[in-house]
C-alpha cells in the first residue's frame, strides 16, 4: 500500500474531512470520482427523461411542478460537475457526451447489472407510461434518493458532503411532490389499480438503485469514509418508510 494511502486512511479513521488540496491517493480519487459520475449521470438522465412528461401533466400547477423538478435535477448535476472539474473533467464536453434522454424497452429489467455507455443508475434507462406512472416513480425514487444522499452527506470528502446535504433535502421535497401528485391524480379520476400497477413496476427497479446486499465495494468505500451504512440497512429504511406512505394511500409495497 502506498505511503499516502496509509496516511489518508489514518486521517479518515480519525474522522478528518478531506478537500481537493489534500494528497488524495489514486484509489480514493478513483472511488470518489466513480461516486460523483454516477450521481451526475443519473441526474442528467433523470431530468432529460422527465422533460416530455411536463406536457403530459394534467394542469398548469402540475406542469410548473414538473418543470421545477427538471430544473432542479439539472442544477444538482451542475453542482457536482463543478467538483469534478478538479479531477480534470471538461464539463461542457461531459454534458454533450451521451444521449441523456435515451431509454430502453420498458419490458427489460436490468436489476443490478451494469450496461455500457454512461454511468446512470439502471432506473433511468426505463421510460414512463404517462403522468400517473411518473409521479409514482418520483415518489418511490425521491425517497430512495433522499436516504442515499443523506448517507453521502456525511462522507469524508468535504466539498461533496456539503453539496449532498443540500441536494438530499431537495430530493426529499421531490418525493413529497410525487406523493402529493399521486394523491391528486387519484382524486381526479386515476384508478388505484393503475397506480398499483405502476408501484409494482417501479418498486424492484428503485430497490436495485441501492446496490447488492453483498456488495464487494462497500468495505472499500467504508474504509475511505465515503459510505458508512451497508446497503441492506439502507434498503430496510426505505422499505419501511415507503410501505407506510403507500399504505396511507391504499397501495401496497411489493417486490413483484
Domain containing residue 170: CATH number: 1.20.1260.10
The pLDDT of residue 254? 86
> Would you say residue 198 lies in a domain?
yes
> C-alpha cell of 124?
433511468
Tell me the residue range of the domain where 173 lies.
24-101+117-249
> Would you say residue 254 lies in a domain?
no
* Own/partner pairs, 188-191, CB within 8 angstroms, 24+ separation: 188/58, 190/132
Which segments of the chain have a pLDDT < 50? Answer: 1
> Would you say residue 73 lies in a domain?
yes
Angle subtended by helix axes 60-84 and 26-54, to nearest 10: 160
Number of domains in the chain: 1
> Would you say residue 9 lies in a domain?
no
> Would you say residue 108 lies in a domain?
no
Residue range 226-236, pLDDT digits in tens: 999 999 999 99
The pLDDT of residue 2? 64
> Would you say residue 197 lies in a domain?
yes
> Would you say residue 93 lies in a domain?
yes
The strand pairing partners of 18, in sequence order, are 157
Q: What is the pTM of this model?
A: 0.94
CA–CA gap between residue 29 and residue 172 (Å, rounded): 28
The closest of 212, 209, 217, 201 to 238, measured between CA atoms, is 209
> Would you say residue 154 lies in a domain?
yes
CA–CA gap between residue 254 and residue 12 (Å, rounded): 39
The pLDDT of residue 113? 84
Q: Look-up: residue for cell 430544473? A: 71
The pLDDT of residue 214? 86
The DSSP symbol for 15 reads T
Amino acid at each position: 500500500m502506498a505511503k499516502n494511502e496509509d496516511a489518508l486512511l489514518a486521517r479518515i479513521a480519525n474522522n478528518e474531512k478531506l478537500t481537493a488540496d489534500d494528497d488524495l491517493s489514486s484509489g480514493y480519487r478513483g472511488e470518489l470520482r466513480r461516486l460523483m459520475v454516477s450521481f451526475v449521470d443519473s441526474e442528467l438522465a433523470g431530468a432529460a427523461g422527465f422533460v416530455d412528461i411536463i406536457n403530459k401533466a394534467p394542469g398548469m400547477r402540475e406542469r410548473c411542478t414538473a418543470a421545477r423538478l427538471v430544473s432542479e435535477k439539472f442544477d444538482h448535476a451542475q453542482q457536482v460537475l463543478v467538483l469534478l472539474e478538479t479531477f480534470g473533467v471538461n464539463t461542457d464536453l461531459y454534458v454533450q457526451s451521451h444521449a441523456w434522454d435515451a431509454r430502453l424497452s420498458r419490458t427489460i429489467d436490468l436489476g443490478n447489472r451494469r450496461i455500457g455507455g454512461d454511468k446512470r443508475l439502471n432506473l433511468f434507462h426505463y421510460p414512463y407510461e404517462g403522468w400517473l406512472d411518473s409521479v409514482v416513480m418520483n415518489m418511490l425514487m425521491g425517497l430512495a434518493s433522499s436516504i442515499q444522499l443523506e448517507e453521502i452527506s456525511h462522507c469524508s470528502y468535504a466539498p461533496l458532503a456539503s453539496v449532498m446535504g443540500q441536494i438530499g433535502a431537495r430530493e426529499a421535497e421531490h418525493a413529497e411532490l410525487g406523493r402529493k401528485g399521486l394523491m391528486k391524480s387519484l382524486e381526479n379520476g386515476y384508478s388505484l389499480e393503475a397506480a398499483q400497477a405502476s408501484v409494482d413496476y417501479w418498486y424492484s427497479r428503485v430497490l436495485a438503485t441501492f446496490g447488492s446486499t453483498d456488495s464487494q465495494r462497500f468495505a472499500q468505500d467504508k474504509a475511505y469514509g465515503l459510505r458508512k451504512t451497508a446497503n441492506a440497512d439502507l434498503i430496510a429504511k426505505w422499505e419501511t418508510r415507503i410501505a407506510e406512505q403507500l399504505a396511507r394511500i391504499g397501495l401496497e409495497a411489493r417486490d413483484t
